[in-house]
Amino acid sequence: MENAKKDRRTLCGHLRLNCLKICRYFISKRPFVIIVHQDKIFIGNNYNFAFPSPLAQNQKEVADLKTIIVCLKQAVDVSQLKIDPTTGQLLTASAPKKISDFDKNALEEAIRIKERIGAAEIYTVTVSSEDAKPVLREALAIGADKAYLVNDQSLQNVDTWATAYVLAETIKKIGKFDLILCGETSLDSFSGLVGSRLAELLNLPQINSARKISIENGNVTAERTLESAYETLKSKMPALITVTREINQPRIPSLMMIMKASRKEIVTWTTTDLNIQKEKIDEKVEVTEVLAPKTKRKKIMITGENTEEIAGKLAKALIQEGIIRR
Amino acid sequence: MSENRGVLVFSEEYDLMLEMIGKGREIAKELQTELAVALVGSNVQKKASELIKYGADKVFLVDNPALERFQAERYLSVLHNLAVDYKPDILLIGSTKNGKALAARLATRLETGCIPDCTRLSVDKKGRLIGERITYGGNAIARVTFRSRPQIVTIPAKVFEKLEPRDRNGEITKLDVKIEDPQTEIVETKPLETSSRNIEEAEIVVSCGRGLEKKDDKILLERLAEILNAQVGNTRPLAEDRKWFTEWVGLSGHKVKPKLYIACGLSGIIQHVAGIRDSKIIVAINSDPEAPIFEVADYGVVGDLYDILPALTEALRKQLS
């Protein structure tokens, strides 16, 4: 039953995509029937309009790819960070939070894969010491089917080891999956380790910093830019891939999608639900200080009567710095 | 007290490895221990003696045709074997994209911590490593230390200086290591159009942001760059949103540390600034006097890059001749 429902959804989506074609053809021929037969969709009383059914077309890939898991971090919105004017300390605790940008790209990529292939479930997984539900609602509005949140006080100040460990245990409890997508790094801590740590814990092939992903016959292929080369890697699924921000432009959910999201499920677990021993998530590293970066810049504004004068003064100043060789 | 001893250095990028040997030497001296280097690859044995000249006490040579190209699982198994047998207290790993994935997987396999992208390293009174790294999108520097062993850090290129090579004594040990099969297959590699080292090593960088109206207008920057013998860069929106270029300068792109960085028509969002922070002199040219780039600039000019750049090019041409 569940499958029939899903198929109907896929078909309706496909018909919507083709509706212009259909309308143009049938504008004067109402009523008409739509018949789905094996690998074709027939439209019209004489079956005079046919195109391949998305169900048949993607049957193989559907079988290959059922579940995509996207790891989402609730990160400090670094663009809204404020500094305490008296102490000079960064006010991270009170700063607004959002889905880490890179993870949003990972979610968008999962949705695009789903749109290409037809039937896949997208689950998001988040590890947090606070109630990240409002942020996860956004992920559901964007297009995730279900969100898993591990919310536990003991997860305060966790390091990349513990984050990856809890993610791994969560994913094991969720069960089967075909693809895990993560952002290559996070907006706030910018470590870029969790994806690779998670792959190691789950013993998965991994490709990091992908800027293009394609899926075919149970394999995933990803393009990445290294320091001095482009590289295309291919792996069997299940696999873990981390994505860059170039990979796509995440969509902004419509009001309709936001409303629909309120009916989707957010599963909340604690570390106890996951049978995680306290000592397993002990910190391996500890942050001892967070300092405001020292920038001792001269901040000299160069002004003048006209462009030539300004340019002349600037050129002179740069030459006097001794950087530009005559 | 842990039984781990010594510093082990590895990168698949040879120059970066030499830079890390320079820093590793300093740490090893402070901890009164030795500095070892993992030389991993195919047909690399001739480089072993050079690594000793640059400061290594020991070179673990793992030379195998299977290691010709970096493949995560192969290199990981080599480093994991070394870490288990040799038990280093500290591992310095080059912070390339591959190096970071390697460090993260190795740290996980060894159930230990990892501090990525350290721009400063020191040793505290207890002999623990302290790493400093940029965090919160460039708004802060975090000082991080270890509660686990071995201590793994990754180090970006151009952070530390390599030593002058000189004749030293050292030991080269050739190792036969069981190499895991890779789980991913390299389908294709091709070199980047511009090597990232070009811009990351440049002494002068001229860079533009959204103030540039057309892709072809980059010629204005190129003309200035020609006089200054500089490299030309750009911000992320020009690469990602407008798709004019494939690379950019910033925290998520190339991090540069030139002697002079000329920022034209770019507002100076924090992620960009984090990528240019270590520049010696920053010049900002922007028509918006409120642009945050002026806060981090040594010299600022409020004006349109389309007016200022040609005039500056001309002024430099005159004053330099």
Give B-chain residues touching A243 at CB under 8 angstroms: none
Give B-chain residues touching A209 at CB under 8 angstroms: 97
Q: Is pLDDT larger for residue A324 or for residue A169?
A: A169
pLDDT at A61: 45
Is there a domain that residue A92 lies in? yes
pLDDT at B138: 78
Same domain membership, residue A82 and residue A50 = no
Same domain membership, residue A253 and residue A217 = yes
Same domain membership, residue A163 and residue A83 = yes
Same domain membership, residue A201 and residue A119 = yes
Query: How many CA atoms, within 13 angstroms, populate the side-chain half-sphere of residue A158?
Result: 27
Please tell me if residue A193 touches chain B, with a CB cutoff of 8 Å.
yes
Gap from B305 CA to chain A (nearest CA, Å)? 11
Same domain membership, residue B221 and residue B115 = no
Is there a domain that residue A321 lies in? no
Same domain membership, residue A197 and residue A167 = yes
- Banded pLDDT at A91 (limits 50, 70, 90): confident
Mean pLDDT, chain A, rounded, equals: 84
Distant-in-sequence, close-in-space partners of B290: CB < 8 Å, separation ≥ 6: none
pLDDT at A15: 57
Same domain membership, residue A120 and residue A268 = yes
- Banded pLDDT at A34 (limits 50, 70, 90): low
Backbone angles phi and psi of A21, in degrees to 5: -55, -50
Give A-chain residues touching B296 at CB under 8 angstroms: 295, 297
User: Measured on CA atoms in the order A31, A37, A42, A48, is the torsion positive or negative?
Assistant: negative
Same domain membership, residue B277 and residue B239 = yes
Is there a domain that residue B2 lies in? no
Whether a cis peptide bond, with omega within 30° of 0, leads into A31 is yes
Rounded Cα gap, residues A153 and B257, in angstroms:
41
pLDDT at B281 over 50: yes
pLDDT at A4 over 80: no
> 0.95 cut: is pTM over it?
no
Is there a domain that residue B31 lies in? yes
Same domain membership, residue A37 and residue A169 = no
Rounded Cα gap, residues A59 and A237, in angstroms:
17
Is there a domain that residue A261 lies in? yes
Same domain membership, residue A198 and residue A76 = yes
Gap from A307 CA to chain B (nearest CA, Å)? 6
Is B113 within 8 Å of A159 when comparing Cβ atoms?
A: yes
Q: What is the mean pLDDT of residues A55-63?
A: 46
Backbone angles phi and psi of A247, in degrees to 5: -60, -35
Same domain membership, residue B113 and residue B36 = yes
pLDDT at B3 over 90: no
Is A227 within 8 Å of B236 when comparing Cβ atoms?
A: no
Rounded Cα gap, residues B150 and B91, in angstroms:
7
pLDDT at A21 over 80: no
Same domain membership, residue B215 and residue B133 = no
Same domain membership, residue B213 and residue B143 = no
Is there a domain that residue B71 lies in? yes
pLDDT at B95: 95
Same domain membership, residue B153 and residue B296 = no
Same domain membership, residue B309 and residue B222 = yes
pLDDT at A19 over 60: no
pLDDT at B278: 85
Task: Return the CATH number at B269.
Answer: 3.40.50.1220
Q: Is the ipTM of this complex over 0.85?
A: no
- Banded pLDDT at A157 (limits 50, 70, 90): confident
Is there a domain that residue A306 lies in? no
Point out the residue among A193, A221, A299 whose CB comes nearest to the CB of B187.
Answer: A221
Distant-in-sequence, close-in-space partners of B293: CB < 8 Å, separation ≥ 6: B263, B266, B267, B268, B273, B282, B284, B286, B300
pLDDT cut 70: percent of chain B above it: 98
H helix intervals, chain A: 2-17, 19-26, 54-57, 59-64, 101-117, 133-142, 160-174, 194-201, 255-261, 307-320
Rounded Cα gap, residues A310 and B302, in angstroms:
10
Query: How many CA atoms, within 13 angstroms, populate the side-chain half-sphere of residue B255?
Result: 19
Give B-chain residues touching A221 at CB under 8 angstroms: 187
Total domains in chain A come to 2
A78-82, A274-278, A304-308, B213-217: least confident range: A78-82
Asked whether the beta carbons of B204 and B229 are under 8 A apart, the reply is yes
Q: What is the mean pLDDT of residues B33-39?
A: 97
Is B260 within 8 Å of A310 when comparing Cβ atoms?
A: no
Asked whether the beta carbons of A143 and A107 are under 8 A apart, the reply is yes
pLDDT cut 90: percent of chain A above it: 60
Task: Return the CATH number at A132.
Answer: 3.40.50.620
User: Measured on CA atoms in the order A86, A89, A94, A98, is the torsion positive or negative?
Assistant: positive
pLDDT at B166: 95
Same domain membership, residue A229 and residue A118 = yes
Query: How many interface pairs between A and B have CB atoms less than 8 angstroms apart?
Result: 271
Gap from A54 CA to chain B (nearest CA, Å)? 29
From chain A residues 162-181, the ones with a CB under 8 A of any chain B CB are 164
pLDDT at A83: 77
Angle formed by the axes of helices B305-320 and B219-228, nearest 10°: 20
SS percent in chain A: helix, strand, coil, step 5: 35, 25, 35
Is there a domain that residue B87 lies in? yes
Distant-in-sequence, close-in-space partners of A121: CB < 8 Å, separation ≥ 6: A66, A67, A68, A145, A146
Q: Is pLDDT larger for residue B98 or for residue A90?
A: B98
pLDDT at B245: 87
Is there a domain that residue B267 lies in? yes
Distant-in-sequence, close-in-space partners of B172: CB < 8 Å, separation ≥ 6: B48, B49, B52, B58, B59, B61
Identify the domain boundary among B110, B141, B174.
B174
pLDDT at A62 over 50: no
Is there a domain that residue B180 lies in? no
Rounded Cα gap, residues A131 and A125, in angstroms:
13
- Paired residues of A72 in beta bridges: none
pLDDT at B195: 55
Same domain membership, residue B21 and residue B167 = yes
Rounded Cα gap, residues B227 and B26, in angstroms:
39
Same domain membership, residue A111 and residue A259 = yes
Give the CA-trace dihedral at B106, B109, B113, B118, to 10 degrees: 10
Mean pLDDT, chain B, rounded, equals: 93
pLDDT at B1 over 50: no
pLDDT at A40 over 60: no
Most confident of A11-25, A78-92, A105-119: A105-119
pLDDT tens, position by position, A107-148: 999 999 999 887 789 999 999 988 899 999 999 999 999 999
Rounded Cα gap, residues B79 and B71, in angstroms:
12
Gap from B162 CA to chain A (nearest CA, Å)? 20
Is there a domain that residue A69 lies in? yes
Same domain membership, residue B200 and residue B144 = no
pLDDT at B314 over 60: yes
Same domain membership, residue B99 and residue B13 = yes
Same domain membership, residue B261 and residue B133 = no
Is there a domain that residue A31 lies in? yes
Instruction: Using alpha carbons, select from A50, A51, A58, A48 the residue that is nearest to residue A10.
Output: A58
Instruction: Using alpha carbons, select from A297, A302, A301 the residue that is nearest to residue A312.
Output: A302
Identify the domain boundary among B109, B143, B174.
B174
Asked whether the beta carbons of A146 and A123 are under 8 A apart, the reply is yes
Q: What is the mean pLDDT of residues A303-307?
A: 92
Is there a domain that residue B13 lies in? yes
Is B107 within 8 Å of A161 when comparing Cβ atoms?
A: yes
Point out the residue among A161, A195, A315 whose CB comes nearest to the CB of B312.
Answer: A315
pLDDT cut 90: percent of chain B above it: 80
Rounded Cα gap, residues B39 and B136, in angstroms:
35
Please tell me if residue A277 touches chain B, with a CB cutoff of 8 Å.
no
Total domains in chain B come to 2
- Banded pLDDT at A10 (limits 50, 70, 90): low
Task: Return the CATH number at B32.
Answer: 3.40.50.620
Is B298 within 8 Å of A314 when comparing Cβ atoms?
A: no
pLDDT tens, position by position, A238-279: 999 999 988 999 999 999 999 999 999 999 999 999 999 999
Gap from A88 CA to chain B (nearest CA, Å)? 11
pLDDT at A60: 46
From the number of C-beta atoms within 10 Å of its C-beta (0-12, 13-18, 19+), residue A57 rates as middle
What is the domain range of residue A24? 2-56
Is A228 within 8 Å of B203 when comparing Cβ atoms?
A: no
Distant-in-sequence, close-in-space partners of B164: CB < 8 Å, separation ≥ 6: none
A21-35, A136-150, B125-139, B182-196: least confident range: A21-35
Q: What is the mean pLDDT of residues B275-304?
A: 93
Same domain membership, residue A83 and residue A17 = no
What is the domain range of residue B303? 196-320
Give B-chain residues touching A323 at CB under 8 angstroms: 203-204, 259-260, 280-281
pLDDT at B146 over 50: yes
Same domain membership, residue B125 and residue B18 = yes
CA angle at B46 for the pair B41 and B52, rounded to the nearest 5°: 95
- Banded pLDDT at A322 (limits 50, 70, 90): confident
Total residue length of chain A: 326
Is there a domain that residue A291 lies in? no
Instruction: Using alpha carbons, select from A258, A248, A230 the residue that is nearest to residue A70.
Output: A248
Give A-chain residues touching B189 at CB under 8 angstroms: 229-232
Same domain membership, residue A15 and residue A82 = no
Is there a domain that residue B1 lies in? no
pLDDT tens, position by position, B78-107: 999 999 999 999 999 999 999 999 999 999
